[in-house]
Chain A
Amino acid sequence: MIAIRFEEREKIGLQYALDTLHGCSPFGIEKIRRLRFYSPEERAELETELYNVEQSAKAADELKNVYDKICLLLCQMKEIRGTLRRIQAMECPDHVELFELKNYLQRMETLIPLLQQMDEVCHLRDLTFHDPAAALAVLDPERTRSRGFYIPDSASPRLREIRQQKKQVEEELYHAETDARKDELRTKRTRICAEEDSEEMKIRQSMGSQLAPMVGDLLADTDAVGRLDFLIQKARFAVRYGGVRPEITDGHLELVDMVNPELCDLLQERGRSFVPVTISLDRGATVITGANMGGKSVAMKTVALNVLLLQAGFLVCAKEARMPLFHSVKMLFDDLQSIQSGLSGFGSEIVQFQKALDEVEDGFALFLLDEFARGTNPDEGAVIVQAVTRYLNGVDAISLLTTHYDKVAENANAHYQIIGLRDVDPEAIRRELAVTGDDGIQVIARHMNYGLYRVEGKSDCPRDALNICRMLSLKPEILAQIEQAY
């Protein structure tokens, strides 16, 4: 089962994606808040959901008005599941509960034709509601279709009688002349009111018993309302960030021009744009290498984000996608490790790794290791990561590692490198720096190519550090020494 911690959701931008959704009904909001991931065994359900989302996203323009109307209705729905469960348990519902239930059912009545309109265009699968007419008839026996909830006199002959008495005593009180008479009438009135209360309670109880057999269907409908709510939100998300419905594979993962919504929005705010990343992964270990600030982690997080989006029933943020379903997704990011464990950074990393590995070996998994063992000395670190990479080649998982260390890539099944500053002439940047006087880091960031390319054959980590030194005009004496030692 996929279990993702809140910090992990935040880290990879999943929380950001969820925060852009605006669930309307309490049922939809709950579905978003308690996000559920489909397991590989639920592939059929997931395919249905993806089909529905794709259809709804395609029709988002045409159905904008319908979606708006549906959302408005959903926003007016109140949480009535507690009341339904109480009714199921044969407890007596009170006036306000019955009022809210009636309101909810009236909204369902309005929602059904809207869903039909949507369905005519989208041809949704497995999303239907029960007719609320029978339940409404219980709560509105006189078919007044009024918004309010009132137990009519006709609910029982006894109630009619009591209410007539109440009116009469009221009238008598109004005309009563002596205090003694008034007191007598007030006492009588109190008794009548008590009778009315107990008769109304009987009627509410009987309404509850009539509704009880329908509770199962009504609860199923609240779930369907939640799904519809979430569906429209997913469709709008797909429209906003360019979602595609992936082809589900048995192990191969390929994402063409994938993006990360959080970074897209962030970069857009700063007047820049996210460079889409293309990656293809198979069982075994894949290594991403590249310069610092080059976007290795971003590529990795975007893979994780899209995998989780898919398994939560979203279209994924890419141009094309072929993806398998995972039993679990495990990630080890250097800055997510618990510092409370008392171990050193490296020690706790190993503990975490060990724990994660146990789960990864439980079933087909996605395993992400960001700069593993970076906290130890480079020689030892390199040896450790090389061994881990070799081991992961044999594990039933897609493992993705980012590293600085030498000779890790040659142990992996595949090797990607950040394009980085590969195609940039250091002299050109030096000149640009001299002319513009801008902050050197920003100039380099501007020229950095965050794209990935697949490295065939043997290749070591790029030597961008030296280039960066050159661009930033490090003291010539030092630079000369570095060049000599290379």
Chain B
Amino acid sequence: MTPQLAKSLAEVRTMSIVGMCKNAGKTTVLNWLLANSRQERILGLTSIGRDGESTDVVTGTEKPSIFVPEGTLVATAKDMLRLGDVTKEILATTGISTPLGEVVVLRARSAGYVQIAGPSITTQLRDVSQLFFELGAGQTIIDGALGRKSLGARTVAEGVILCTGASYHMSMEKVIEDTVNIYRIMNLPKAATLPPEPENGLEDCLKQHGEALVSGALTDSMVLPLLRSGLLRNGRLVVKDPSKVLLKPDTLDKLQTRQVRLEAVDAARTLCITINPVSAYGWKFDKDLFYEKMSQAVDAPVINVKEELA
């Protein structure tokens, strides 16, 4: 871990950890962050949905539990309290209900293990972060769950750690390609100006202005015909929410070669990408090759969770 990366991780006020798959190393990253924030400032910790079980429910592999330092604020469902072993001070009940009971905010009065099941709606996550800050937290970390890439949305977190690994697919190429695709979409450049929103369809708007604001999903079937007709050449598309860009890597490449600028209303930051070369399903990648290829494919720092954070 470089000092620059450590600095950028410390700078963001809200951070979410997004996994490409199970066993990507999310919890390892989280524990590393928790351990290294020791005594620096108070962390607020929650998750989207349920996480932190000690054995992976799907694969049966041992998973690292979440270990928080004394003073950490934790938002978790009431039923999860008895599964942790920190000394608890209950600070607030949030009124957010989950299948595992109401989400409760506690302060860890001792270091210890916690089980986290936070809110499952992004607006509720924002409320919980807000509550953390009111209660004195300096940084909020949201542990993302599998397939919740919407956590990359900046309304939820300023910075994202994207975790990927061999568990995603047997082919290293596939893992890298798909991770890079998500990375590219999550890191669209911030639009300097906002183009008009299409009133009579995207095509019409592009004809008139050469650019358009897309408020909903952006799909291949919307983009490909426009590329074919040449309407998009040298044009600009600005999306409101990057997590709603559902373009294939191939389409993204095509946009790039035709010099179509794809931008987002807000700029996100993928702080780093972590890789886990060991799959929970039995196979392993060559760790050096995996690291090298991933580093070449993205311009964010890459960390091998098995080596640097273990």
Contacts and interface: CB of A to CB of B under 8 A. Distances in A.
B110 A166 contact: yes
A148 B91 contact: yes
A96 B78 contact: yes
Contacts of B91: 147-148
A274 interface: no
Contact of A166 (B81, B87, B92, B102): B87
Interface in A204-230: none
A78 B90 CA distance: 15
A147 B90 CA distance: 9
A95 B81 contact: yes
A19 interface: no
Contact of A163 (B85, B87, B92, B104): B87
Contact of B87 (A148, A190, A196): A196
B110 A163 contact: yes
Contact of A150 (B88, B92, B102, B111): B88
A241 interface: no
A95 B85 CA distance: 13
Nearest to A102: B90
B93 A100 contact: yes
Contact of A149 (B78, B81, B89, B111): B89
B87 A149 contact: no
B109 interface: yes
Contacts of A99: 90, 93
B78 A150 contact: no
A343 B85 CA distance: 67
A176 B44 CA distance: 28
B107 interface: yes
7 contacts: A95-B88, A96-B81, A147-B92, A166-B87, A166-B110, A170-B111, A193-B85
A148 B110 contact: no
Given A95-B81, A96-B104, A193-B112, A78 B93 contact: yes
Interface in B83-102: 85, 87-93, 102
Interface string A40-80: 00000000000000000000000000000000000000100
Given A96-B78, A96-B81, A96-B104, A170 B88 contact: no
Contacts of B109: 150
A101 to B, nearest CB: 11
A98 B90 CA distance: 9
Give 8 nearest A-B pairs by CB, closest first. Answer: A150-B89, A99-B90, A193-B85, A148-B91, A149-B90, A148-B89, A170-B111, A95-B90
A96 B87 contact: no
A167 interface: yes
Contacts, number: 42
A99 B89 CA distance: 9
Interface string B18-32: 000000000000000
Contacts of B81: 94-96
Counting chain A CB atoms within 10 Å of each CB, the highest count among B88, B89, B90, B112 belongs to B90
A94 to B, nearest CB: 8
- Interface SS of A by simple majority: helix
Contacts of A190: 85
Interface of B: 78, 81, 85, 87-93, 102, 104, 107, 109-112
Counting contact residues on chain A (CB < 8 A from B), the size range is 10 to 19
A220 B240 CA distance: 54
Contacts of A98: 90
B251 to A, nearest CB: 49
Interface string A95-130: 110111000000000000000000000000000000
A167 B109 CA distance: 10
B110 A96 contact: no
A170 B110 contact: yes
Contacts of A170: 110-111
Interface-centre pick from A78, A148, A190 (highest chain B CB count, 10 A): A148
B111 A148 contact: no
A150 B109 CA distance: 9
B42 to A, nearest CB: 14
B127 to A, nearest CB: 16
B285 to A, nearest CB: 26
A105 to B, nearest CB: 14
Given A167-B110, A193-B112, A96 B93 contact: yes
Contacts of B89: 148-150
A150 B107 CA distance: 9
Contacts of B87: 163, 166, 196
A193 B110 CA distance: 11
Contacts of A197: 85
A95 B81 CA distance: 9
Given A163-B87, A196-B87, A148 B78 contact: no
Contacts of A94: 81
Contacts of A163: 87, 110
Given A149-B90, A150-B88, A166-B87, 10 more contacts: A95-B88, A96-B104, A147-B91, A150-B89, A150-B90, A150-B109, A167-B110, A170-B110, A193-B112, A197-B85
A148 B90 contact: yes
Contacts of A147: 91-92
Contacts of B85: 190, 193, 196-197
Nearest to A159: B87
A379 B89 CA distance: 79
Contacts of A167: 110
A196 B81 CA distance: 14
Contacts of A100: 93
Interface in A158-216: 163, 166-167, 170, 190, 193, 196-197
Interface string A128-171: 00000000000000000001111000000000000100110010
Contacts of A166: 87, 110
B104 A148 contact: no
Interface in A429-484: none
B270 to A, nearest CB: 32
Nearest to B105: A148
A163 B108 CA distance: 13
Contacts of B92: 147-148
Contacts of B88: 95, 150
A196 B104 CA distance: 21
Nearest to B111: A170
A95 B88 CA distance: 8
A149 to B, nearest CB: 5
Contacts of A196: 85, 87
Contacts of A150: 88-90, 107, 109
